[in-house]
Amino acid sequence: MSESSPSYLSELVGVFGFPVAENPTIIMQEAAFRAAGLNWRYLNIEVRPEQLPDAVTGLRAFNMRGINLTIPHKVAVIPLLDGLSPEAALMGAVNTVVARDGKLVGNNTDGKGFLWSLRQDAGIDPAGKEVVFLGAGGAARAMSVELALAGASRITIVNRSAERGQSLVELLNAKTPTSADFVLWSEPYRTPDDTDILVNATSIGLFPDISAMPEVDLSSIRPDLLVCDVIPNPPHTAFLREAKARGARTLDGLGMLVGQGAIGFEMWTGVEAPVAVMRAALEEVFG
């Protein structure tokens, strides 16, 4: 073939999950590839838990440029990779794999996506801030570790199950510069007066359960508080609506999803992510 011959070879990335059919990241990444003029494709690939090792071998065989991992593969993928970023090693979970020079390296962009949205969408730097997370699952773990590394002065983890909450607090105190404490969530949570940022990092309020709200004493939500929600669908959760009604500033979960997608896009392609296009594509999906 001469140098000017067209290439019909696409670069491949995607997501391994089970189930994965409804994962909307494809819409955002494909819109970004089109906007950037890249011949790349993003695929939703259903991988059963027992087939993850074969799927990772396939990733290498197809010379794919990387992959996102979603439930139930974020932890199980780790022994199948060639290396981990320091943050992914700290969190013990991977959501973005980058293939480079024949090696698969695992990263975690969930927390970085939140940090990005906090800075870009809300204009807030977490350094020196007092932050409360409702929840201690994978999302809370990724977000709290990133905020701790970014200099948050104090992090409180409020969780229904003590074991999960305490193990996250132990990780934050042992491996990051922040000071963390745990509150057992057994009654409506009263946000302390010195809190700067309150984050719902639970799955409460996710579609189709859109009227559900985390149990928070709404009288403790003040106008000088930033209230965030991880739920991307719907972006305008009942919790954020109540917070807004009390005068608080709010940050929705769509920004975090765009942020982590944009970071993944840049890691894979080396091209600046068209974030406005990515957000518009997701807004169309979530209405």
| Catalytic residue list | 74
If binding is defined by CB under 6 A, does position 147 make contact with ligand NDP?
no
Shortest separation between residue 281's beta carbon and ligand NDP, angstroms: 14
Structure tokens at 259: 């942020």
User: CA dihedral defined by 175, 264, 227, 190, rounded to 10 degrees?
Assistant: -40
If binding is defined by CB under 6 A, does position 136 make contact with ligand NDP?
yes
Name 69's Cβ contacts closer than 8 Å, sequence gap at least 6.
15, 16, 17, 77, 94, 95, 96, 97
Shortest separation between residue 171's beta carbon and ligand NDP, angstroms: 14
Q: Which is nearer to ligand NDP, 182 or 268 (CB)?
A: 182
User: In this chain, which of 137, 210, 218, 242 binds ligand NDP, going by CB under 6 A?
Assistant: 137
Sites for ligand NDP among residues 93-122 (CB under 6 A): 110, 113
Structure tokens at 223: 């106008």
Q: Which stretch binds ligand NDP (CB under 6 A): 22-30, 32-40, 60-68, 253-261?
A: 253-261
- Adjacent-strand bridge partners of 216: 189
- Spell out where the chain has E strands: 11-17, 40-46, 66-69, 83-84, 96-100, 103-107, 130-134, 154-159, 179-184, 197-200, 226-229, 249-251
User: In this chain, which of 66, 135, 264, 274 binds ligand NDP, going by CB under 6 A?
Assistant: 135
Question: One symbol per residue from 25 to 54: x for binding ligand NDP (CB under 6 A), - otherwise; what is it?
Answer: ------------------------------
If binding is defined by CB under 6 A, does position 253 make contact with ligand NDP?
yes
Q: Which stretch binds ligand NDP (CB under 6 A): 77-85, 118-126, 234-242, 249-257?
A: 249-257
If binding is defined by CB under 6 A, does position 262 make contact with ligand NDP?
no
The number of residues in the chain equals 287
Under 8 Å between Cβ of 85 and 107: yes
